[in-house]
């Protein structure tokens, strides 16, 4: 399943889902004598009994049949972590980073059978600045869907739609890119519209080998708002026509809502909201990082059951289908680029800047149409406390502002009163672990954090506690409530939430670390060693079995412990309003 809706009704498109041949190889480009395995695509090789800890390069191979001459466009929604794609023996794409999509276009492919070879590499080396041994696991393989499309010489590359509230009316700012991969200049008609609302039509002239950017702001008088309580979605439809014949389309979903941080509060459509959420790694004890739709939906239902109105995609962009579900159910999303805990030295790896900026750019360009995303964030727990680190935060936050000025930006800091970057963001966020790594009083820590924010450039900005939590090993029970037991995890979260959700709390949001236990890299130093090679701070374990802390957090988030309640979740199974 590619998305929750058809992304093309005119352009021929299908998912290359199924069983592909597989074999571990020594390096990208190598052709082994035999292909011993058959693996599922999408999937990660760790699900095969022989390959549970394999780290290296793997070759996936399949063939496709085309019944006419065409321009082939392959879209890879996520290959972990470095991908090289060959079609009929020629290398046509290279991409780094598991969590954003990329394309490979081959013009003028003859009818008949064609071979696709995908090399996926999940190894760690100097060449990889973001995927390193870490407190989560880098799986291997095409963890997200692969799509085959047939495109004309002139086709739609990308469309962005940004809702704006202007003098009491909704407007939409369109940016559409149309490209011509053929050898002749072409004239085409671009039609842009939202189903149920009006559309616009424009004649474009596209030179061979070039792209044209079309921009237009339209007013939508009758548009209905997207909000967490009523997540109204509109189908965005971009089409190309030659005369009366429609020859290409590109479909997405959008919603009309605005986000701001006026008065030090996070506001959606002018209404202050308190974000109550969980941090979610895309990791599951059985399917690794490659989720079926049913597994994604189960996570969403558990998050909604917890009384959350928000989720943070720690520490990388999420699967598109997960974000589709957030759009659909009105969950507010903090989405962040890919990084966790990089030191200044690691940020000085010459690969870091280009790789990190690329993920940031791809994240905003690929997910920017989604109403559910209300915060963009960068560089979780990296060196925001050093002068060099600050230059990196500054340039990445500026990049986001250039790409999308409509959403507030943040980063999750662990540097407390030593942070140098609070003046660069719209929302100041702290990762704190009272009761687990430190023995502070949560309420006192909260007052201190507010002072650090005020003093260090964050005065007047919303403050979020983006992480707090404790380990709890599923099934480990203790009358003495010792550290690591489910009881102690529950006690620590109870104490944290009591302080953070109290009536006079200055916080704009809280995100429990974390939703589900996740696998971690095997550590080479004792400090990073985690029991069971897992981060066990989940409210559910890797199989989604709730721990004691689940109900504790649920009671707080649903306002049963005296704090503020989240908006009532929509009735399970009821279809959200949509046009
Ligand atoms: C950090 C980090 C998380 C996780 C957590 C923990 O705050 O951002 O990725 O490692 O600590 O469990 O210690």
* DSSP state string for 142-201: --S-EEEEEE-SEEEEEEEEEEEEETTEEEEEEEEEEEE-SSS-EEEEEEEEETTS-EEE
Contact 192, 199 (CB under 8 A): yes
C-alpha–C-alpha distance, residues 413 and 421, integer Å: 9
CA of 204 to the centre of ligand 1 (A): 50
Probe residue for ligand 1, chosen from 283, 343, 381, 438 as the CB with the greatest number of ligand atoms within 8 Å: 381
Distance 53 CA to ligand 1 centre (A): 22
Which pLDDT score, from 0 to 100, does residue 564 have? 53
- Tell how far the Cα of 265 is from the centroid of ligand 1, in angstroms: 26
What residue's CA is closest to ligand 1, atom 3?
135
Residue 433 CA to ligand 1 center (angstroms) comes to 9
Strand partners, 438: 434
Give CA–CA dist 188/68, Å, rounded.
23
Q: Which of 237, 62, 77 is nearest to 147 (CA)?
A: 77
Which residues of the chain have a pLDDT value below 50? 566-579
**Nearest CA, atom 4, ligand 1:** 135
- Ligand 1 center to residue 535 CA distance, Å? 8
Query: What single-letter DSSP state applies at residue 263?
Result: G
Q: Which atom of ligand 1 is nearest to the CA of 471?
A: 12
Instruction: Provide, rounded to the nearest whole percent, the portion of the chain with pLDDT above 90.
Output: 94
Measure 479 CA to ligand 1 centroid, in angstroms: 27
How far lies 434's CA from each of 87, 275, 443, 465, 556, in Å?
Answer: 53, 20, 10, 12, 18
Helix, strand and coil in the chain, % to nearest 5: 20, 35, 45
Pocket test for ligand 1, best of 467, 469, 519 (most atoms within 8 A of CB): 467
Q: Residue 527 Cα, ligand 1 centroid: separation in angstroms?
A: 13
Ligand 1: distance of its center to the CA of 520 in Å?
11
CA 48–ligand 1 middle distance (angstroms):
28
Residue of the nearest CA to atom 7 in ligand 1? 431
Q: Which pair of tokens denotes residue 151?
A: 């495109």
CA of 438 to the centre of ligand 1 (A): 13
Of all atoms in ligand 1, which is nearest to the CA of residue 537? 12
- Out of 429, 513, 537, mutate this one to test ligand 1's pocket (max ligand atoms within 8 Å of CB): namely 513
Write the pLDDT tens digit of every residue in 270-286: 999 999 999 999 999 99
Report the nearest atom of ligand 1 relative to the CA of 314. 9
* Residue 523 and residue 509 in contact, taking contact as beta carbons nearer than 8 Å: no
Measured from the Cα of 436, ligand 1's closest atom is: 13
Instruction: Put residue 39 in one of left, alpha, beta given phi > 0 → left and psi -120 to 50 → alpha.
Output: beta
pLDDT for the residue numbered 526: 64
Nearest CA to ligand 1 atom 10: 135
Q: In b/e form, how buried is each residue of 114-142, taking b as 16+ CB within 10 angstroms?
A: bebbbbbbbeeeeebbbbbebbbbbbbbb
pTM assigned to the model: 0.96
> What CA–CA distance (Å, rounded) separates 366 from 493?
35
Find the 339 Cα to ligand 1 centroid distance in Å: 12
Task: Give the integer Cα–Cα distance in Å for 490 and 480.
Answer: 13
Pocket-forming residues, ligand 1, beta carbon under 6 Å: 135, 340, 380-381, 431, 467, 513, 535, 537
Closest atom of ligand 1 to 437 CA is 13
Q: Ligand 1: which of 469, 470, 472, 535 to mutate, judged by most atoms within 8 Å of the beta carbon?
A: 535
């Amino acid at each position: 399943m590619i998305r929750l809706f058809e992304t093309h009704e005119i352009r021929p498109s299908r998912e290359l889902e199924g069983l592909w041949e597989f074999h571990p190889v020594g390096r990208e480009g190598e052709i082994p004598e035999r292909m011993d395995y058959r693996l599922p695509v999408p999937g990660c090789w760790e699900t095969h009994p022989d390959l549970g800890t394999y780290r290296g390069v793997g070759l996936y191979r399949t063939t496709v049949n085309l019944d006419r001459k065409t321009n082939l466009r392959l879209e890879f929604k996520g290959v972990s972590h470095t991908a090289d794609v060959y079609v009929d023996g020629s290398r046509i794409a290279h991409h780094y980073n598991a969590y954003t999509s990329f394309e490979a276009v081959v013009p003028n492919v003859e009818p008949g059978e064609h071979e696709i070879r995908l090399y996926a590499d999940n190894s760690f080396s100097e060449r990889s600045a973001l995927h390193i041994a870490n407190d989560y696991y880098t799986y291997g393989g095409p963890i997200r869907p692969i799509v085959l499309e047939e495109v004309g010489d002139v086709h739609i590359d990308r469309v962005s739609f940004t809702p704006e509230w202007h003098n009491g009316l909704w407007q939409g700012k369109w940016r559409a890119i149309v490209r011509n991969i053929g050898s002749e200049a072409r004239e085409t008609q671009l039609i842009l519209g939202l189903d149920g609302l009006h559309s616009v039509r424009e004649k474009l002239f596209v030179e061979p080998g070039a792209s044209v950017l079309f921009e237009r702001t339209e007013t939508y008088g009758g548009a209905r708002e997207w909000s967490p309580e009523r997540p109204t979605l509109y189908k965005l439809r971009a089409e190309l026509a030659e005369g009366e014949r429609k020859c290409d389309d590109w479909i997405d979903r959008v919603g009309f809502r605005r986000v701001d941080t006026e008065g030090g509060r996070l506001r959606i459509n002018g209404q202050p909201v308190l974000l109550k959420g969980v941090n979610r790694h895309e990791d599951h004890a059985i399917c690794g990082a490659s989720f079926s739709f049913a597994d994604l939906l189960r996570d969403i239902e558990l998050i909604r059951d917890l009384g959350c109105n928000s989720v943070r995609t720690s520490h990388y962009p999420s699967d598109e289908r997960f974000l589709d579900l957030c759009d659909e159910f009105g969950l507010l999303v903090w989405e962040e680029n890919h990084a966790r805990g990089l030191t200044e030295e690691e940020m000085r790896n010459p690969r870091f800047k280009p790789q990190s900026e690329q993920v940031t750019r791809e994240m905003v360009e690929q997910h920017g149409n989604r109403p559910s995303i209300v915060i963009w964030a960068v560089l979780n727990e990296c060196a925001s406390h050093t002068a060099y680190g600050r230059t990196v935060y500054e340039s990445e936050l500026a990049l986001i502002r250039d790409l999308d000025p409509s959403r507030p930006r943040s980063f999750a800091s662990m540097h407390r009163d030593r942070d140098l970057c609070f003046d660069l963001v719209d929302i100041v966020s702290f990762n704190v672990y009272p009761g687990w790594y430190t023995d502070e009083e949560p309420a006192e820590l909260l007052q201190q954090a507010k002072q650090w924010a005020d003093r260090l450039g964050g005065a007047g900005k919303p403050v979020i506690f983006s992480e707090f939590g404790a380990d709890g090993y599923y099934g480990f029970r203790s009358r003495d409530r010792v550290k690591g037991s489910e009881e102690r995890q529950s006690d620590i979260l109870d104490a944290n939430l009591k302080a953070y959700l109290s009536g006079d709390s200055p916080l704009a949001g809280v995100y429990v670390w974390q939703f589900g236990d996740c696998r971690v890299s095997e550590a080479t130093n004792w400090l990073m060693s985690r029991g069971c090679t897992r981060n066990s701070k989940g409210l559910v374990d890797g199989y989604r079995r709730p721990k004691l802390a689940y109900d504790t957090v649920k009671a707080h988030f649903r306002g049963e412990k005296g704090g503020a309640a989240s908006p009532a979740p929509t009735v399970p199974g009821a279809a959200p309003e949509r046009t």
